[in-house]
Amino acid sequence: MPEAASGDHDIEVGEDESTSNIWQDMLAASMSSSSKWATSITTSNLIVLGDRTNGKSSVLDKFKGRVNVSNASGYIMDYSYVNVTNKFNIDKEDVVSRMSVWQLDDALHVDLLARCIGNIDVNSIATTCLVVSLDLSRPWDVMDQLEKWLKAATEVSDRLSSSLSDEEKATLKKNVSKYVQTFQDYNPAATDTSTAANVDEETTAPAPATNEDAPEDESNSGGGNAEEADKVGEVAAQEDEASQEIPVDLSLPAKNLGMPVLIVGNKGDYFARGMESTGADKKFDFLTRRLRKVALDYGAALLLTSAVGEGTNIELLQDYINHRSLAFPFKHVAKPIGNFDDFGIHIPSGFDSTALIETGANTSGWSDETSMMEVFDIPASVLAQKRGARKVAPTVQAQTDDDFFRKIGGAMGASLPPPVEHSSASDMVEEGEPEFFDRGRARSSTFSSRKPPRPSIDVGAPPPPAGEKKKKKIKVGKFFKNLLK
């Protein structure tokens, strides 16, 4: 019995120790994975600039992995972040980057945005994207929006890179120029062909297995991954060497901010639901041409989106941001042409050119100098709102000298004679008045300074009623003398 009891006790102790070891192993594994995640995750920035209520928040709400910190509206600046995962690695769903999303609604507070982001180094700027957000439901002032926010984007770029050396700034701009000039549009047919060729090559001509290779393949499955990684590294190195051989023109794009710029038009569904179909295609084509020319100057990408329903170009926009910030693949074919019903165009940086923009004949009759207000009708409600917001200064009408002096004289209780026209200034001079005063009055007043004729006295006239004071008549000259005292 004692042995059995001791045996049972030993078994129980053994189970407790086994359970304890399992929990310790799980805890250690969890701590190890957490530390690896903390050390491997990268940071990136997305700066979104645009007017309030232009649709940028609705587009960002559809981003996968976005975490809205404040859930508040009405502020000039907002912060959220996106847990970015690599959608091309289906085996792992680990977060590879935490992308900070900064929204600014007021172009006058660029300094506030720069201070909130803080001092960032050249590597952080290299993983930062600038998005200029436009409200396409207001096409009559879309170019004014673009001009205002591109200016703000330039200020943001200057402030964020103010602590960098000239060499680091030149490197950032060179990277943008290199991307724009070496861009190649995605070709799914070529990708499928190359994939099929690789499959055929592997099936028809397999590599002969040797005795030395067999044990490694059977015993260690990681060897194949290492060899594959080496091959991928060699291909990437060859591509880097090939791209380095291409000369880079540092003058292109003409306006280089040193970081990727995206021009994003929100509420693109306005063209289908808010415009008359008559002439809508010409207006849409004119607007997109103007936007493409500005985007070409900045080396910027151009995308038109909508957050209605499942959204238009939302996933594509997020893929392109991850592509420029984190060097993810971008497997979308450019779409430079659309119409008012199929508005979802997207043009990556480096795809467009002046020749492509001018490919279609401009049959609208509008030029680049044509104002958008001449092309798009402004709703009456918007005009009324503008008139109501505009402060009209009251009209000030100057009084004549006669009216002015008569008003002052009436306020002082003096009775002034009626104005009389004179043929010359000398007729206005009265004896006994100062010469300097007469000359001044001769130039600026039409009052007669002569003594008025004495009224005839009626002896039989009744005296004035009691209590009524007799109005005092004074000379004009004496009145102004008293006024100047």
pLDDT in single tens digits along all 485 residues of the chain: 444 444 444 444 454 555 556 766 666 665 555 555 444 688 999 999 999 999 999 999 999 999 987 766 677 899 999 999 988 887 777 899 999 999 999 999 999 999 999 878 999 999 999 999 999 999 999 999 999 999 999 999 999 999 999 999 999 999 999 999 999 999 888 765 444 444 344 333 334 333 344 334 433 333 444 444 444 445 445 555 555 568 899 999 999 999 999 999 999 999 888 777 778 889 999 999 999 999 999 999 999 999 999 999 999 999 999 999 999 999 999 999 999 889 999 999 999 999 999 886 666 678 888 999 999 988 888 887 766 655 555 667 777 887 877 777 777 765 556 655 555 444 444 444 444 444 444 444 444 445 555 555 454 555 555 555 555 555 666 766 676 66
The contacts of residue 257 (CB under 8 Å, 6+ apart) are 130, 153, 154, 157, 176, 298
Ordered by where they begin, the domains of the chain are 39-182+251-375 (3.40.50.300), 401-452+471-484 (no CATH)
3-state secondary structure (DSSP) of residue 297: helix
Q: How far is CA 64 from the centre of its chain?
A: 22
- Which amino acid makes up residue 163? S
The Cα–Cα gap between 336 and 352 comes to 8
Phi, psi of 273 (to 5 degrees): -105, -20
Which H or E run contains 104?
A: strand 95-104
396 burial (CB, 10 Å; 0-12 / 13-18 / 19+) is exposed
199 burial (CB, 10 Å; 0-12 / 13-18 / 19+) is exposed
Predicted pLDDT at 418: 61
Following DSSP, what letter does each residue of 439-482 receive, concatenated? HHHHHH-----SPPPPPPP-TTSPPPPTTPPPPPB--HHHHHHH
Predicted pLDDT at 70: 73
Predicted pLDDT at 382: 82
- Which amino acid makes up residue 175? N
Strands 77-85, 95-104: parallel, antiparallel or unpaired by DSSP?
antiparallel
Which H or E run contains 80?
A: strand 77-85
The contacts of residue 305 (CB under 8 Å, 6+ apart) are 59, 264, 265, 266, 268, 311, 312, 313, 314, 317, 344
Name the nearest CA neighbour of 102 among 84, 121, 129, 124. Answer: 129
Contact 285, 360 (CB under 8 A): yes
**For residue 286, what are its two tokens?**
């004119």
Q: Global pTM?
A: 0.66
